[in-house]
Amino acid sequence: MATCGRLRLLDQCIRKSPCAIIQRFSSSSTFKASALQLTRTRNPVPKPEDPNKCIFGKQFTDHMLTIEWSVKRGWGIPQIKPLENLSLHPATSVFHYATELFEGMKAYRTVDNRIAMFRPMENMERMVRTAKRACLPEFDKEELVKCLAELVRVEHEWVPHSTSASLYIRPTMIGTEPSLGVNMSTKALLYCILCPVGPYFETGSFNPISLMADPRYIRAAKGGSGAYKLGSNYGPTIKIQQEALKRGCQQVLWLYGDDHQVTEVGTMNVFVYWINENGEKELATMPLDKGIVLPGVTRSSLMELAREWNEFKVTERIITMADITKALSENRLLELFGAGTACVVCPVDSILYADNKLKIPTMDNGAKVASRFYKELTDIQYGRTPHEWSYTVMEDANGDVSEARNL
């Protein structure tokens, strides 16, 4: 009876202050990578013959990572097991109220045959911030990195032998309580799947794209959830992406406000390299304090690299389409490019805005800054340049994976 009474009290607390209860339980009880259980598949699928031709997110590896959570029991035991479908009740909260978040990361086969991830703790920091926003459970970031590293080790043969392809890592968390009430989910599932990927765009790794900028559509608003990696931020953009394709553009340039602020490119952060109004060479991107752009890992990496170069001004500032058009008319706009995990750096050569096609001189100017960013970042990712941002998963990818465990 005492136990039942405690459970009833817990239930009441959940309804009154759900997020506080989640944070209390998830921070005091976390999963441990050292307890991870591995079940290998008996039916491995063929690996792609040419990973450079792998379409993003279409082919998956043999195994997945799963970790269950409940508000009453906390985190369960991490498991790596054969890839399988999820079995969920029709009333599961993720289906009805989009209680879901995800991350996007990559593992690379380096030139010295290591397997390495790129700045995984940055992704974990963002994932925990998003979990708080979604009222999903927090976790120990380092323990999840270790679990992800073990999953990659198990699947190390899937990491492409290529310096233009990689293994994409998709950690995901969903609310799994079977309830139609608009409340915090008292159950959750954290899982991760992997897929080999080639260049994100069909045009290749570093070919320019065209953008549609239509102020009728916005991606996020102040006070909303645009700064978090929530699936609910992405689904509503698909229709606008289709509109861009119909109008002969490859991606959407998301604008915001009456002054048409330049915020993001598709699912990427956007950078402007120009000579500013004071005659200074400047690299500028939308600030994070408005809460309408995602704090991208590639975004922060480019800014850190540029500040190390110390060759031009690096700022976070609001840039409007009026600023862009004025800079174009005065020959001050040098380059415009997107940056994100999927494509790394993507140059822009035109913007369709107010029924006018603006020619962006990124490639005319040689895309010197964008291409330098692309080279320096991929040199780190593929191990051509040793760097602290490279997180080694396996020292020798030809070795026995059972000997590579370091949990």
pLDDT in tens, 212-256: 999 999 999 999 999 999 999 999 999 999 999 999 999 999 999
**How far apart, in whole angstroms, are the C-alpha atoms of residue 117 and residue 149?**
8
pLDDT in tens, 176-187: 999 999 999 999
Q: What's the pLDDT at 19?
A: 56
What average pLDDT does range 97-111 have in this prediction?
Answer: 97
**How far apart, in whole angstroms, are the C-alpha atoms of residue 290 and residue 321?**
18
Q: Where in the chain is the domain with CATH 3.20.10.10?
A: 209-381
CATH architecture of 18-198: 2-Layer Sandwich (3.30)
pLDDT band at 18 (very low <50, low <70, confident <90, very high): low
Q: Where in the chain is the domain with CATH 3.30.470.10?
A: 18-198
pLDDT in tens, 26-53: 444 799 999 999 999 999 999 998 888 8
**How far apart, in whole angstroms, are the C-alpha atoms of residue 56 and residue 174?**
22
What average pLDDT does range 293-307 have in this prediction?
Answer: 98
Cα 2 to chain centroid distance, Å, stands at 45
**How far apart, in whole angstroms, are the C-alpha atoms of residue 217 and residue 254?**
7
* First and final C-alpha spacing in the chain: 41
pLDDT at 14 exceeding the cut of 50: no
What is the pTM for the complete model shown? 0.90
**How far apart, in whole angstroms, are the C-alpha atoms of residue 256 and residue 219?**
8
Q: What's the pLDDT at 367?
A: 96
Residue 18 vs residue 55, higher pLDDT: 55
What average pLDDT does range 58-64 have in this prediction?
Answer: 96
Q: What is the CATH number of domain 209-381?
A: 3.20.10.10
Q: What's the pLDDT at 120?
A: 98
Q: What is the pLDDT of the chain when averaged over all its residues?
A: 91
Asked if 315 and 284 touch (Cβ cutoff 8 Å), the reply is: yes
Q: What's the pLDDT at 51?
A: 84
